[in-house]
Structure 1
């Protein structure tokens, strides 16, 4: 019997043709399919080549079995947009075993139900093809499926849902699956549910990819049933749990990817030591901690990605045991110590990211493999000088050592003409000395970024003759950059498209008029004087898209001039005069602020600025009314503040749905705010401070649910507290110096403002019982963590970020914060008619920095709970009717640098403490019952020359502009506040260096929120 069977097989094999030939019915179905599909013929590489004169089994993307039946159809990336919904051609290919329609665009249509006709399918790939809706029941009939991929891009919201059928029904019907990829399919199940569903039905599963599927944790131990599991992707889910130890028991695991999963706790070290593990990605899990273990000999790991986690410790010498390691990414962790020299033995290493840590010492790269192509070591504390051997690595094409503490010179090298270095970035360090000449010898160099160091000396631009140089940045050093200004007919940089020479002591424009490929030019913060030459608008033959000439001494435009098709035009902080120039039609970002432009805003300005994201003419001398054409602009940010504009606010402005920032403050505008805010308005900032506006806050402002900053201080409004704004996202509310009246007892008012950081309602006629205010429900001030999570998000526009300006009264000073601090909080209810006691619940506002309740009618004692406000830097309770003793708890407030309790009815001994001894007697005057230091003059030794600290009893209205970038309250208002502000305002070099350091500190401690 067996002999007969084998003879039969042999005979059948003998009579079959050597190569299969497409059957006529199969060819007809394929040609019909091709003609019915909608696809882009110019982008197609397979369908356009199907020709009826050829054997269809030889067509691109088609595979047949020995009998001429089509068994595989690979139409991925063919730009198909439709035509398969009810395709009789596709779904009659009944022998089809593999169908691949990935990377097409079916415009969010449903997976066709006819798919169930293809009962022989073993592989179905519909990934990244823009299918949407519920996964149909018909997929459950594909019982032979071994591989199913319905994935979409993780950064998109899920288009496909597994609800009915759900995941459990899917896997119970498709029990042959060995590969299941459902990235960005909405599954929405608990950890125990999805883990049990998969492990109980798919014991032979090898690949499981469930990225961005709305899964929750914790990960259940039932997954251990998947003994053959090799690849596990669970990225972009909110697991909010630890990584289980049992993952180390997956003996065949090669890839484990858990990026951005809200992981907690400590990562089990033994997972690193799984013998088969090749790829590990734990990135963007801020609360996940751990250390690197001692790695065993000949480990299989090829990539380790731990960026933006809380891993710490030192790098073990045993890392050299990972002989196959090609990528090590430790960006944004908390590693420290020296980089082990053994890292140089990693012969396969091509990508090394160790930036934003606490490494010290030098970089031991002397023995690194010639295969190293990328080294990133920015944001560390690396010191010493950079070894010359680093630049001699022949395969290195990208080097980033920015934000470190290097010192010393880069050593001169020779014989570098064969170097393959393409990108060199050593910006934001402390490198010093002249620019090394060998830079010009790096023939493959395309990007040279040397900004924000201490390089000095004179640099001739002509030294950079690198033939492929595309980007050159010498900004913010101590360099004196010059150009010979030669009249040569050849361009200075034949291939450069981006040149940044900010703060390079340029006294005249370099000769760039012959540049042929120009796209971006930054000559800001130099000493350029006179007129802007008209040739600058013609460089690059009109290809210039970005021009920054800000912070110079320019006073006009050489005529005639015509703007090219610029996207970004930044001329702020010069001495430009005359009429406001009409911006180019193509502009997306235009900044004319801080100049001396006069006359009125051109009547047709809006028609020329119809596409811009950002338009600012603040701090000029513009007069006249706001032209109605301004409403034709689609700007996200419109800043006309600090001019001399008159008239009213055009009623069309509030109607603009896309407008996010409207800043008209510090003008002479009059009338009322138009009650025309549109439904679904996107406004985030409304700044109308310091005008002559009157009337009431318009009720239509309730249509702006995203409102974060409302500043209408110093006007003539006469209204009650704006209770209708309780459902907005207000972070800043400024009503100061108006005629508001009544109490603050709105229904659910403050409960609905969980993000409030700054509230200033001072100098009005508000009244009511202060003790009834529910401070414990002001969540934005209760804890610093809450503020970090719900911080005010600055608006991103084409040219950067827009920062609001807020004026606050703090420490007796009127200060203007040009960048709202993420964790700065203050309350100013001064100069009103509040009565009653200060509630004990005010001590719940633990992140509060400033509290000003002066000039009211408050009674009762100072609550001891104020001692809980450990961040408090300024406290003013003066000119009230407070009684009792000063709580001793106040003496423990070590951050307190301003205190005024004068003119009350306090008595008893003034608490003793180091901080209290820094305040003068004027802080306590007007309280006849107080005694002790400092009101008792015997505290100061007679004849010793020691005098009590000075104190200003009057408010000193010194307007200080503080340009702080993401700096915490603890840094922002220290005891040395005055000297810090002075340096910030008057020393540009110090200011830029200070803000760079503040950025690092902020990123290090607060980025996770």
Structure 2
């Protein structure tokens, strides 16, 4: 009986222990429910806090972890659909047993990181990346002596980085892409013997780079890219057992010669030094000793790279040497693993060697060189991006390119290529995303052979000698975003069959005719340039109310300079960062779209009134209706175009007064109403007072400033396009805009074209400014020339009348 009682007691004890082990304590459950009440949350997100309630064991709730005593030790709220504010008195800071906390990829955009994390003394893993936290970096995080991993990347944190020398257990620090400033001292990470990953990229850190960072005992990945570090890096001794494998210093202001110890790192596989101020001559054969080196970028420094005695590493995968003063191709015949080669903006001459086409390269950029020919070769099927723009290539487009399996991007723009477009580029769908043949001497017609599976996003054949019509089969390209056939000899009507996804359409300086009557519209259209053609009819045939892409959403204002060289500034684009992994390499890229919208219908034969509906296009930045036969009054609805920076209605037959509403367009920097039939006083307004008399001349009935209140300006009615303009001469060079945008439409083309290439992005922005400069400078120059010719003619006529 005693034994039986003892067994029952033992059973009860074991049952009790099993039952209570790991059961959530009441105070812990209350704290979790209090924390839940502090947040807003998306109930549709799985594994969120939506199912936390009064019943049940909180240690069995999803995303909650407990120790054997029932204390909450882990909260994984990453991607939990949570928003709100974490207050200084939040229940979170009473969960004092927490060792792991994940809040990444939520929405705390109005919240600062509280200074209370020191109340969580056991915290070892803190992950709060990409959650919109703002405000100063909390220095109390450096007091968490148990901290192993700190991840705060992709927020909006400001201020300086505190010293973490007390956090001896730290293994990983990720603070990239914030707004952190200041310098780093030798104390910041001193003594962190376990630190293997330090990522401070994408901030505004300055000063010199502390040398001890390169010799931290366990450091494997050091990323200081895209900051403002400067000065030189001095030579230091590297021990043979250094673990440093990933070193990214690109996008800074580091000068002097490249330190030799970089090439003594036995385990280095990624060495990115592009976009700095490194100078001197660099001998490429230094990389021969780096048997594990996979990726090397030297682009856009002040270097002269010596490729002599170079026998390439068989493991090199990425080699970028743009703007390195190269005269000869490096010997890469044995680089059997090469996938990305950038030798752009150098002084390479002669023919492109045939062995290049036989490699495993997928991304090839040889643009901006002095290359003349393409040797015939068996092109490898791996090629995905081929950029040969701005060289001196002659002859016909080689058909061996059609042997590639699938090219994402082919750019042969701004060369001296002639002949016709090879049909195989079209009918085989060889180029899947971007085909840019702009600025050559290509003739013939555009092959009408676009397949039903066409995925083309950018098609640019502008500034050639093409004739014929726009192929009807282009309607098969359902994803077409950019279509530029400007400055050719096409003879057609408006291409109503084009994809509804169009964002940019340029038909300028051809022989298009007819009206704009289409049964459909393009809701995403941002740039429409059909100037210098023979279009006619009324503007209300264009369904303006459907152009939602030109209606105001979230503008970024950039004021035009008030001079003859007005420009559309580089800030008039917005950037969305994209991170992709290409063959195991994580690459941060940028998608670029124009924030400005524009309509250019100048130098045609449009007649009738300007539709009131144009006032609905509230994000319009440039509107040019000049050199047509438009009549009636200027609609007051133009006053709703608050983003308008340039308005040209000159050389029409407009009548009546200038609407007072135009004087309220404070963003307007370019205005031309000359040579119409306008009358009355010029409206007064702070912006209108900055325009010269040239903006209003040729209107006999106008008076007031800046015409000095007189009616004696020359009486000359607006000339018609037939007698006063030649479409081919009225050039608006949108081309560079499309050359810039051509590479970056869609995530695919963006990914390949801007791969690891910050300077190329900057070059595109410079081209945007350059072409905009040309837009306004050329137009202003021609306007001044026309005025001088008119005035001379008027003086001669006046002298003749006086003589008679």
**TM-score, normalized by length of structure 1?**
0.59
Structure 2: segments with no counterpart, 5+ residues: 1-40, 65-70, 557-571, 711-728, 742-757, 767-804
The counterpart of 1:683, out of the listed 441, 448, 456, is 456
| Aligned-residue offset at 1:842 | 0.9
| Aligned-residue offset at 1:353 | 1.9
Q: Is the 8 A contact 1:716 1:738 kept in 2?
A: yes
Partner-residue secondary structure (3-state), 2:116? helix
- Do residues 707 (structure 1) and 465 (structure 2) align? no
Cα distance in 2 between the residues matched to 1:772 and 1:627: 43
> How many residues of Structure 1 are paired with residues of Structure 2 in the alignment?
656
| Aligned-residue offset at 1:564 | 3.7
The counterpart of 1:630, out of the listed 401, 422, 430, is 401
1:310–1:457 Cα change, 3 Å: same
1:422–1:992 Cα change, 3 Å: farther
Cα distance in 1 between the residues matched to 2:227 and 2:189: 26
| Aligned-residue offset at 1:425 | 1.2
Q: Is the 8 A contact 1:492 1:512 kept in 2?
A: no
| Aligned-residue offset at 1:773 | 2.6
1:312–1:556 Cα change, 3 Å: farther
Cα distance in 1 between the residues matched to 2:232 and 2:579: 39
The counterpart of 1:890, out of the listed 662, 665, 669, is 662
Task: Determine the structure 2 residue equivalent to 1:611.
Answer: 382
Task: Determine the structure 2 residue equivalent to 1:419.
Answer: 193
Task: Determine the structure 1 residue equivalent to 2:751.
Answer: none
Partner-residue secondary structure (3-state), 1:365? helix
Q: Is the 8 A contact 1:344 1:369 kept in 2?
A: no
Q: Which structure's CA Rg is the greater one?
A: 1
Q: Is the 8 A contact 1:587 1:611 kept in 2?
A: yes
The counterpart of 2:291, out of the listed 516, 525, 547, is 516
| Aligned-residue offset at 1:857 | 0.2
Q: How much is the aligned-residue C-alpha RMSD, in angstroms?
A: 4.0
Task: Determine the structure 2 residue equivalent to 1:906.
Answer: 678
1:371–1:558 Cα change, 3 Å: closer
- Do residues 779 (structure 1) and 551 (structure 2) align? no
Task: Determine the structure 1 residue equivalent to 2:151.
Answer: 375
Partner-residue secondary structure (3-state), 1:657? coil
| Aligned-residue offset at 1:504 | 4.0
Task: Determine the structure 1 residue equivalent to 2:304.
Answer: 529
| Aligned-residue offset at 1:701 | 1.6
Structure 1 residues 904-943: aligned runs within 5 Å: 904-936=676-708
Task: Determine the structure 1 residue equivalent to 2:347.
Answer: 575
Q: Is the 8 A contact 2:165 2:192 kept in 1?
A: no
Q: Is the 8 A contact 2:299 2:323 kept in 1?
A: yes
Partner-residue secondary structure (3-state), 2:402? helix
Partner-residue secondary structure (3-state), 2:394? coil
Q: Is the 8 A contact 1:501 1:524 kept in 2?
A: yes
- Do residues 493 (structure 1) and 265 (structure 2) align? yes
1:864–1:961 Cα change, 3 Å: same
- Do residues 358 (structure 1) and 150 (structure 2) align? no
Cα distance in 2 between the residues matched to 1:279 and 1:729: 42
The counterpart of 2:619, out of the listed 824, 838, 847, is 847
1:935–1:828 Cα change, 3 Å: same
- Do residues 761 (structure 1) and 564 (structure 2) align? no
- Cα deviation digits, residues 380-403 of structure 1 (max 9, x gap): 24113x322x14423322212233
- Cα deviation digits, residues 47-66 of structure 1 (max 9, x gap): xxxxxxxxxxxxxxxxxxxx
Structure 1: segments with no counterpart, 5+ residues: 1-230, 238-242, 256-274, 281-297, 804-818, 939-953, 967-986, 996-1009
Partner-residue secondary structure (3-state), 1:506? strand
Cα distance in 1 between the residues matched to 2:420 and 2:100: 64
The counterpart of 1:718, out of the listed 463, 473, 491, is 491
| Aligned-residue offset at 1:602 | 2.0
Partner-residue secondary structure (3-state), 1:579? strand
Structure 1 residues 756-905: aligned runs within 5 Å: 756-784=525-553, 821-905=593-677
Q: Is the 8 A contact 1:743 1:767 kept in 2?
A: yes
Cα distance in 2 between the residues matched to 1:414 and 1:742: 70
Q: Is the 8 A contact 2:312 2:333 kept in 1?
A: no
**TM-score, normalized by length of structure 2?**
0.73
Task: Determine the structure 1 residue equivalent to 2:54.
Answer: 251
Q: Is the 8 A contact 2:165 2:189 kept in 1?
A: no
Partner-residue secondary structure (3-state), 1:630? helix
| Aligned-residue offset at 1:314 | 6.2
The counterpart of 1:442, out of the listed 194, 216, 226, is 216
Q: Is the 8 A contact 1:523 1:548 kept in 2?
A: yes
Cα distance in 2 between the residues matched to 1:993 and 1:313: 41
Q: Is the 8 A contact 1:277 1:300 kept in 2?
A: no
Cα distance in 2 between the residues matched to 1:626 and 1:964: 19
- Cα deviation digits, residues 940-965 of structure 1 (max 9, x gap): xxxxxxxxxxxxxx979789967999
Cα distance in 1 between the residues matched to 2:57 and 2:233: 52
- Cα deviation digits, residues 567-620 of structure 1 (max 9, x gap): 00111111211211332521111111111111x32222xx32422110110100
Q: Is the 8 A contact 2:305 2:324 kept in 1?
A: no
Partner-residue secondary structure (3-state), 1:881? coil
Cα distance in 1 between the residues matched to 2:738 and 2:391: 19
Task: Determine the structure 2 residue equivalent to 1:408.
Answer: 182
- Do residues 235 (structure 1) and 235 (structure 2) align? no
Which one scores higher on RCO, CA 8 angstroms, separation ≥ 6?
2
Cα distance in 2 between the residues matched to 1:601 and 1:737: 31
- Cα deviation digits, residues 764-804 of structure 1 (max 9, x gap): 0000022333211222223426999x99999999697999x
| Aligned-residue offset at 1:372 | 3.2
- Do residues 322 (structure 1) and 95 (structure 2) align? yes
| Aligned-residue offset at 1:728 | 3.8
1:332–1:776 Cα change, 3 Å: same
Task: Determine the structure 2 residue equivalent to 1:695.
Answer: 468
Cα distance in 1 between the residues matched to 2:689 and 2:527: 29
1:835–1:461 Cα change, 3 Å: farther
Task: Determine the structure 2 residue equivalent to 1:17.
Answer: none
- Do residues 664 (structure 1) and 437 (structure 2) align? yes
Partner-residue secondary structure (3-state), 1:784? coil
Q: Is the 8 A contact 2:147 2:170 kept in 1?
A: yes
